Structure 1
Amino acid sequence: MTLDQLRPYVAGVIDPFVEGFDRAGFTPNGVSMLAFAVAVAAAVAFALGGVSGRGWYAVGALLVLLNGWLDVIDGALARRQRVASAGGDLLDHVLDRYADIVIIGGLAAGIGSFLLGFLAVTGVVMTSYLGTQAQAVGLERVYGGLVGRADRLAIIAVVGVLAYPLGGAVAGLTIVGWLLVFLAVIGHLTAVQRFLYAWRAL
């Protein structure tokens, strides 16, 4: 089970934050755009972590967790304000995908390995695509598989924290390099897993 499947159970935890955003005058789309801006900031921090000091990785880790938290808030805020719409859902998904791309791009830029970045990005994008494509063919959205978005963000955050004390290379790759390898392999495996689940359900 992936962390994405726990979304329905965190309502009680996030309610005070949702209420706070509501009182502050935020719209769900505004929160989605704020989450994307935070993802861009995380990508910059990760890129700096590879060239200006590994302490930036910890900053990126915190920003990634904030991006994930805001990604939960926007949908809950839409339900609270009773403005949930297909347009808002579309914007949320598009910005989530761009957030995934820029975060991984920042990790790849930091270590100067754009091939690993490309492989990781395609795995992540295909995982998300298969989750929503199931909806497009009449099934429920698929959150299952080895790793979902929430899992990825949690793993990236953990590696970001560990990147400061564990700066050495193993078999030619730093911990961030191995993170990109993991995201590439597990992303494509999860995409295949979701495809097979949807295929059998049709």
Structure 2
Amino acid sequence: MTLDQLRPYLSRFLDPFVSGFDRIGLTPNGVSVLAFVMAIFAATAFTLGGRADPVWYVVAAVLVFLNGWLDVIDGALAREQGVASAGGDLLDHVLDRYADIVVIFGIAAGVENYFLGFLAVTGVVMTSYLGTQAQAVGLERVYGGLVGRADRLAIIGVVGVLAYPISGTYGGLTLVGWLLVFLAVVGHVTALQRFAHSWSALE
């Protein structure tokens, strides 16, 4: 089970935040945009963590967690305000994909390993694509597989926190460099798992 599948059980924890955003007049689309802004800041912090001061990795971790939290809240806010729509869902998914790309680019730029960044970002994008493509062929959206988006953000955040005190290289890569390897491997494995699941359901 991936963390994405736990979203329906988070409602009682979201209520105070949803109510707060509703009171200040923020729209679900506004929350989606705010989440994307957090991703941009996180990418910048990851780059600074690799090139300037490792303390920026902790800042990046906090911003990644904020991105993930806001990504959960926007849908709940849409339901609370009664404005859930296909357009809002589209915007949310588009910004999520751009957020994934931006964050991984920031990580790759920080460790100056763009090849690993390419492998990681293609794995992440294909994971998300296969999850939603199932809907396009008449199935339910697929959240299963080795690692979903929520899991991925949680892992990136945890590694960001650990990268501050844990310096040095291991097998030629820093901890953040190994994060890119992890994202590349599990991204493509998860994408293939989702493809296999959808293919089997269509037979």
- Name the TM tier (shorter chain): over 0.9
Structure 1-normalised TM-score?
1.00
User: For this pair of structures, how many residues does the alignment match?
Assistant: 202
2:101 is aligned to: 101
Distance 1:120 1:197 in 2: 22
The amino acid across from 1:8 in the alignment is P
Q: Which amino acid aligns with 2:14?
A: I
Moved over 6 A (4+): none
Superposed CA deviations along residues 108-161 of structure 1, whole A, max 9, x for unmatched, are: 000000000000000000000000000000000000000000000000000000
For residue 40 of structure 2, what is the aligned residue in structure 1? 40
Residue 16 (structure 2) pairs with residue 13 (structure 1): no
Deviation at residue 5 of structure 1 after TM alignment: 0.3
Displacement of 1:6: 0.2
What TM-score do the two structures reach when normalised by structure 2? 0.99
Say whether residues 1:181 and 2:170 are aligned partners.
no
Q: Distance in 1 between matches of 2:142 and 2:48?
A: 35
Pairwise mapping of residues 131-170 of structure 1 onto structure 2 (< 5 A)?
131-170=131-170
**Unaligned residue ranges in structure 1 (runs of 5+):** none
Structure 1 distance, partners of 2:167, 2:183, is 19
Q: Which amino acid aligns with 1:128?
A: S
Unaligned runs of 5+ in 2: none
Deviation digits for residues 77-118 of structure 1 (CA, Å, limit 9, x no counterpart): 000001011100000000000000000000000000000000
Task: Name the Cα RMSD after superposition.
Answer: 0.4
Q: How far, CA to CA, are the matches of 1:46 and 1:20 in structure 2?
A: 30
Give identity over the alignment, percent. 76
**Distance in 1 between residues matched to 2:142 and 2:129, nearest whole Å:** 10
Q: Look up the equivalent residue of 1:41 and give its one-letter code.
A: F
